[in-house]
Every structure is written in structure tokens, then in C-alpha cells.
Amino acid sequence: MNTTTLRRNATNVAVPLVFGVIVLVAWQRFVEWRKIKPFILPTPSTIWHEAVDKVNLLRAASFVTGENAIVGLLLGIIVGTVVAMIANRFRVLSELITPLAAAISAVPIVVIVSILNNMFPLGSQVARRLMVTIIVFFVVFVNVARGLRQSDPTQVELMRSYAASERDVMRKVRLPNAMPFLFTAIKIAAPISVTTAFVSEYFGGTQDGLGQKIASSMSSSKFPLGWAYVGAACLVGLIFFAAANILEFLAVPWQRRRDSR
């Protein structure tokens, strides 16, 4: 790494950091100056103190939501990729699945979660995880299906000239070509999986998870705690997003080259 890239990286980190600090200070000063009531908007410092005080509660709720999100995310990625591969092989299936997947993803989360909640026993996390799976499935399916279709025609022709089997073409050309698409999908789906888990928790089910905790804190007038849960939700989402980016960086190094070109 030379000095120019070092400086650019430093700038990349510094700019949002400085911006964040400015926003927090402005928020703090504004609330104090206008004497805004805590149930409308608490100061960042109150939220911070509450968060430090109740860190165990935050951690417990974050782990529940994080687990719901990651289980749904992994399931959605696996199912989405496998179905996209099958659909690529059999065109009829692709014409069947695509509208169905689009239709399901157009139904509001509230509705599906309510239906799913009725299907599984009280205290189960399955409904929430399934909800995440459905949302992630759609994102992954659409992207991977496109990636599998858009294989380099020269590479496909070469494979045919080698008399390669369909299985070899899938394994050695289509799948590697779809990898950047898969990781783009994962980058989109990772934060969405957290929000979906979160919203699913909000609409009923067991009394844990960040979604439930925010709802109950707010309704029992524990506003700073509610905001601390919101902060925790942001953090979980960010961790998922960062993890997806690191994963992409490691898994598809040739994509790095394409991006920097």
C-alpha cells in the first residue's frame, strides 16, 4: 500500500466519522436548547448512559434478533441459489418460479408474519426466521439467476468445444460467473435480513428480540431505553453489512479488479 492509497483510506474513514460527531453534537445541543421532552427526542447522552446501564438487556435482545436474521439469511441464500440453479437448467421452472417469487415478495411482511405466527407454537422463532428466509430468497434468486444467465459466451462456447457436460458448464463457468452476483445479493440482503427479523418481531410472537423490546419500551414510556434498542438494531445491521462486504472481498477477488478498473 503506497501513501496515496493510505491517505485515501484515511479520508474514507475520517469524513463519515467527523460527520457523525457533528450530527451527534448538533442533536445534543438542539434538544437542550429547545428543551425538547424526552418522549419526543432524548439527547444522545441520555441514550448513551441508558445503553451503558442496560448493556446486558441490549446484548440479549441483539443476539435474539441477530440469530433470527442470520438463520433466515443463510437459509434464504442456500434456497435462493439452489432454486436459481435449477431454474437455469429448466426454463419452464424459471417461468413458473419468477412470478411466484415476485408475488410473494409483494405481500407486506405484516401479513405473512401474522399468518406464519399462527402456524407455529407460541414462543417459537420459526415464523420470524421463515419471514427473513422469504425476503432473502427473493433477492438472492433474482440476482443469482441473472448471474447464471450472463455467463461469458466465449467461455460457454469453449466448454462446448471441450464436449463438457452440463454439470461441468454449471460448475466451472456459470457458478463462478454468478459469484459476484451472489455476493451483491448478499450485501443487499444482509442488512435487510436484520430489518425483516426486527419488523417480524415487532408484529407479535415471543417477548424477546429488538423489535419487541422497542415496542414494549416505548409503550411503557422508557424512551431512552427504546432509543438504545434502536441504536443496537443499527449496530446489528451495520455488522451484517460489514460482514457481507468482507466476505465478498475474500470470496471473489476478481470482482475487486473489475470494480477498480
Partner 1 sequence: MSDVQTPTAIAASAVPIPAVAAESVGKSFNPGTRKQVDALVDVSLTIRPGEFVSLIGPSGCGKSTLLRVVADLLQPTSGTLLVNGKSAKQARLDQDYGMAFQQAGLFEWRNVARNIELPLEIRGWDAARRHARSKEMLELVKLPDFANHMPWQLSGGMQQRIAIARALAANPPLLLMDEPFGALDEMTREHMQAELLSICAATGTTVVFVTHSIPEAVYLSDRVVVMSPRPGRITSIIDVALGDARNDDTREASEFYRKITEVREALRGADHAGRSATTGARGIEDR
The residues binding partner 1 (CB under 8 A) are: 152, 154-155, 157-164, 168, 172-173, 176, 179, 252-254, 257
CB of 254 to partner 1, least distance (A): 4
Min dist CB 257 to partner 1, Å, is 5
Q: Which is nearer to partner 1, 91 or 167 (CB)?
A: 167
- The dihedral built from the CA positions of residue 237, 241, 246 and 250, taken in this order, carries a sign that is positive
Nearer to partner 1, 118 or 154 (CB): 154
Q: Which is nearer to partner 1, 3 or 161 (CB)?
A: 161
| Cα dihedral sign, 155-157-161-164 | positive
Closest separation in Å from C-beta 169 to partner 1: 10
Using CB atoms within 10 Å of the CB of residue 163, give its burial: 0 to 12 exposed, 13 to 18 middle, 19+ buried. Answer: exposed
8 A C-beta contact, residue 245 and residue 177: no
CB of 258 to partner 1, least distance (A): 8
Closer by beta carbon to partner 1, 78 or else 179: 179
* Helices 175-202 and 126-149: angle between axes, nearest 10 degrees: 150
Cα(4)–Cα(50) distance, integer angstroms: 42
